[in-house]
Chains A and B, each alone.
Chain A
Amino acid sequence: MRKRSFLPLAGVLAILASLVVGPAATAGPERATAGTVVVIHDQEPPTLRNDWEDNNLEATALVVNNIFHPGALYDDKAQLVPRLFTARAKLIKPKPATVTFAYKPTAVWSDGKPVTCADFRATWQVFINPQNNVVSREGWQDIKSVACKGKNGTAVFKSSYADWESVVSANVYPAHIIKGQDMNQTFTNSIPVSSGPWKFQSWQKGVQITVVKNTKYRAGPQMKLDRIVWRYILDTNSRFQALKANEGQVIQSQVQLQIADFVKDSNFVVRKGPEYSFEHLDIQLGAKGHPALKQLYVRQALVTGINRPQIASSVFRTTAPETKTLQSLIFKPFEKGYTEHYKKWPFSQQKTISLLKSKGCTGGPDKPSAGNSNIFSCPNVGKLSFRFGTTTGNQLRALAFEIMQRQLKSVGIELVPRFQTAGVLFGTTLPSSDWDLLMFTYVQSPPSKITSNGLYSCPNNRGDQNYGQWCNAKATKLLNAVTTTLDENKRIQMLNEVEAKYISTELPSIALFARPRFVIRSTKVKGPDLNPTQEGMPWNVSTWTTS
């Protein structure tokens, strides 16, 4: 009787042992050597239809950019390099902008059909069709016609369009697959063909997307790996723990406190560099903002009263201490044309106090003091106490705010926190213009500088996202002209003129820092590297190997 009652217990123990020992034995690091690399990412794409109303996500771009391959892609220097194109597209006539391009003879879809200009034309028609819920028609709607002759194409724009190259070099859909399809329901769960280095294999919803080597890809170097698995882990801490536990070998991440552990770990390589997203402090100049902010000297007091280099180095102290202060609102440090316009506003608390006093402000301190509680009041505009808005739940922003609050208080300027959830901040507060100071990130891409007029032109003259209400007619004229200036050097000169003469002088916004992006990889995997654009780390997937 006693022996029989022992049997179930032994059975349970055996099952438990098999759970521990059995799978654990196969869960080791050897997966990485089998031609598979597991990439951990935070967000699972809702569909595989990128640039749609519900899906303007980097997470989707990372997967589909190597399936719907572009004519030319942005490399790690944010420069366009031909992929499916034989060479970079050519502007053959400036007005209306007329562009020619040609797909390589080796550019084929994985089902054997050639990639042709007809695919580009079909893609253009998808984006201009009002029935399709694309997130933006910018660029596509500026094309008047597309003439195709096999692999060669000519796109004629309605007028001069500065960003012509990124439009014609874009990723293209397979015309033969999407013909007659409702694009709002296409590529929801799978993609049947590929023109890039990998092709879609499977999607286990809520867990992973698997892509495998596209053996038909000849337009560029083929993948050395057999497959790449994208595993989705929402929780930040778990993501990094999973990387340590070898549940994945590569991760691309925004700055996170956990990254500091990997910097010191010899089993991992951490690559870091600035990306297109940049943090800034917008100043409200409209009717609902604090009247003091309409005074230039108050804005000058703000910019000199904040130690911007200290903010950048403190926020990224453990992960990227070399992060530099951003000195331009239009160009990023790695871009051609970057000029340090904001460098003319060095940190000087004494200068801030002197400036305010010279304008008749009273009640503030005579010299900077950490324990100061006296706040300046200025003639006709009242006390320098400003509502400071940003998103809740972001430790780094909270730290940046605390530094600014402390520094400004010591010179007699008060910041009152008004932290809100991202939904409320961006959905309600920002567009309402009912705020004083707002700190947030603009997520941008290489062509963003061409459309800077959306942010800094007058609100009633193409400044659709100019929620700070700054308006300078000369700056607006220049910024709007940039969108139709085809010569890149001329554009750079115009944008720098706007920033030097108007933006960095009138201070509608204060640049803080370009956010660093990180790629962390196990030393067993070689190849994954930074790319500041939305191409992300898979831009060079053909070089990835495992050991």
Chain B
Amino acid sequence: MLSYVIRRLLYSIVVLFAASFLVFTFVSVSGDPLAALRVTPDYDPNTIKRIEDAKHLNDPIPVRYAYWVKDAVTDQFGTTLLGDRPIMPDLWRVMKNTLQLVFIAELLALLVGVGIGVLSALKQYSFFDYSATTFSFLGLAMPVFWLALMLQVGVVLVYEATGTRLFPITSLSSVDPGGGVDFLIDRAHHLVLPVVVLMVASMATYSRYMRASMLEVVNSDYVRTARAKGVAERRVTMKHAFRNALIPLVTLAALNFGTLLGGVIVTETVFSLDGMGLYFVNALLNNDPYPVMAFLMVTAVMIIIFNLLADLAYGLLDPRVRYE
């Protein structure tokens, strides 16, 4: 297994280099990052010259890429194009916020989605099954930004009608979040709507997969054998069917992590959450290629790691899988 992991990591490094070069090229040719400075009335041309020299903006793209790789590897992604502000402290701050949001959403989506999927399978073609199916397709069909906006509008309408704001609609904390438990409750309160938005599509996906997987398992020979041997239904469901039906979901959950990181860009922008998505959007708006690259690299590494973990977990859960 070790050689498999090493091989996968080596492949990943190649993929990272190729992807980073392509992204760097696209970002670099997409416009002049000093455009805003150039149209500033009475700007100092020496300032622009100094930035161009310091950041090698007039060099060919491969040379600029090489400088970026050097900074990324030796100087924690270096500094912003303007202002020479270190990238890593900001990236680290937003990363923690985003991971908090994504993990909570993923965990809740898994718990609820799996629960709905199991119940749907056990009560196939029941009212619950049909309802779950309908809502799952609704969840899959709703664009993230639309759902986020609708939730915001809903909260505002309730506030205008009653004077009570059920949930905050922007930001990660109140003006005065307090400390300790108060802070945690305030943070949780602020995360409710973003988590709901982020988990809906995942939950729908998980419930559909879990239902299908569960149906396949409960109709398999070994489950029938267990029932024939007189094993209690609860034990048949939980030990023989449920655990085996979960295996495909492990891969799905890990792969879904990348989707969530994509969805988080919209969610964090709409709810104004200080996370990686908003950081990425701000960097794009500022035409600063270096934070954009840092965001993309961190995201790519996370996706690679989670995909690798999914493959490894699959092997651990299913004895039939062997790594060569």
Task: Give Cα distance in the complex from A229 to B177, angstroms.
Answer: 13
Is A246 within 8 A of B38, CB to CB? no
Q: Which residues of A contact B38 (CB under 8 A)?
A: 426-427, 431
Is B188 within 8 A of A423, CB to CB? no
With A53-B82, A245-B159 in contact, do A135 and B35 touch (Cβ < 8 Å)?
no
Task: Give Cα distance in the complex from A231 to B274, angstroms.
Answer: 12
Task: Give Cα distance in the complex from A298 to B6, angstroms.
Answer: 69
Interface string of A433-448 (1 = CB under 8 A from B): 0000000001111001
Interface string of A225-243 (1 = CB under 8 A from B): 0000101111101100110
The interface-forming segment of A17-25, A63-71, A323-331, A351-359 is: A17-25
Is B83 within 8 A of A233, CB to CB? no
Is B31 within 8 A of A421, CB to CB? yes
Q: Which residues of B contact A204 (CB under 8 A)?
A: 173
Q: Which residues of B contact A301 (CB under 8 A)?
A: none
Q: Which residues of A contact B94 (CB under 8 A)?
A: 206
**CB of A389, distance to nearest CB on chain B (Å):** 13
Interface string of B162-205 (1 = CB under 8 A from A): 01111111111111000000000110110010000000000000
**CB of B10, distance to nearest CB on chain A (Å):** 36
Task: Give Cα distance in the complex from A188 to B36, angstroms.
Answer: 21
Task: Give Cα distance in the complex from A153 to B221, angstroms.
Answer: 96
Is B149 within 8 A of A426, CB to CB? no
Contact of A138 with B by CB under 8 A: yes
Task: Give Cα distance in the complex from A210 to B168, angstroms.
Answer: 19
The interface-forming segment of B14-22, B264-272, B303-311 is: B264-272
Q: Which residues of A contact B159 (CB under 8 A)?
A: 244-246
**CB of B28, distance to nearest CB on chain A (Å):** 11
Closest to B174 in A: A27
The interface-forming segment of B42-50, B65-73, B120-128 is: B42-50
Is A54 within 8 A of B83, CB to CB? yes
Is A133 within 8 A of B40, CB to CB? no
**CB of A25, distance to nearest CB on chain B (Å):** 8
Is B152 within 8 A of A135, CB to CB? no
Closest to A18 in B: B185
With A130-B46, A234-B269 in contact, do A46 and B85 touch (Cβ < 8 Å)?
yes
Closest to B83 in A: A54
The interface-forming segment of A28-36, A216-224, A279-287, A371-379 is: A28-36
Segment 74-117 of B: residues with Cβ below 8 Å from A: 80, 82-85, 90, 93-94, 97
With A19-B188, A234-B272 in contact, do A133 and B281 touch (Cβ < 8 Å)?
no
Is B189 within 8 A of A19, CB to CB? yes
**CB of B146, distance to nearest CB on chain A (Å):** 12
Q: Which residues of A contact B272 (CB under 8 A)?
A: 232-235, 238, 242
Is A454 within 8 A of B41, CB to CB? yes
Is A242 within 8 A of B169, CB to CB? yes
Is B167 within 8 A of A135, CB to CB? no
Segment 292-312 of B: residues with Cβ below 8 Å from A: none
**CB of B220, distance to nearest CB on chain A (Å):** 29
With A138-B42, A241-B156 in contact, do A31 and B175 touch (Cβ < 8 Å)?
yes
Contact of A52 with B by CB under 8 A: yes
Q: Which residues of B contact A160 (CB under 8 A)?
A: none
Is A134 within 8 A of B31, CB to CB? no
Is A245 within 8 A of B30, CB to CB? no
Contact of B233 with A by CB under 8 A: no
Interface string of B1-39 (1 = CB under 8 A from A): 000000000000000000000000000001111111111
Task: Give Cα distance in the complex from A3 to B125, angstroms.
Answer: 30
With A23-B185, A234-B272 in contact, do A208 and B46 touch (Cβ < 8 Å)?
no
Task: Give Cα distance in the complex from A193 to B100, angstroms.
Answer: 36
With A206-B274, A229-B175 in contact, do A427 and B35 touch (Cβ < 8 Å)?
yes
Interface string of A129-163 (1 = CB under 8 A from B): 01001111110000000000000000000000000
Is B44 within 8 A of A184, CB to CB? no
Q: Which residues of B contact A229 (CB under 8 A)?
A: 175
Is A24 within 8 A of B165, CB to CB? yes
Is B167 within 8 A of A24, CB to CB? yes
Closest to A425 in B: B35
Is A20 within 8 A of B163, CB to CB? no
Q: Which residues of B contact A422 (CB under 8 A)?
A: 31, 35-36
Is A53 within 8 A of B175, CB to CB? no
Contact of A205 with B by CB under 8 A: yes
Task: Give Cα distance in the complex from A208 to B44, angstroms.
Answer: 31
Q: Which residues of A contact B165 (CB under 8 A)?
A: 24, 27-28, 245-247
Task: Give Cα distance in the complex from A259 to B3, angstroms.
Answer: 61
Is B41 within 8 A of A444, CB to CB? yes
Task: Give Cα distance in the complex from A107 to B192, angstroms.
Answer: 48
Closest to A265 in B: B160
Q: List 21 A-B contacts (CB under 8 A).
A: A23-B168, A24-B165, A27-B174, A46-B82, A46-B83, A46-B85, A53-B83, A55-B83, A134-B44, A229-B175, A233-B272, A237-B149, A238-B272, A241-B170, A247-B169, A423-B287, A424-B30, A427-B35, A430-B39, A445-B41, A465-B41
Chain A residues in the interface with B (C-beta under 8 A): 18-20, 22-29, 31, 36, 38, 46-47, 52-56, 130, 133-138, 184, 188, 204-208, 210, 229, 231-235, 237-238, 241-242, 244-247, 421-428, 430-431, 442-445, 448, 451, 454, 465
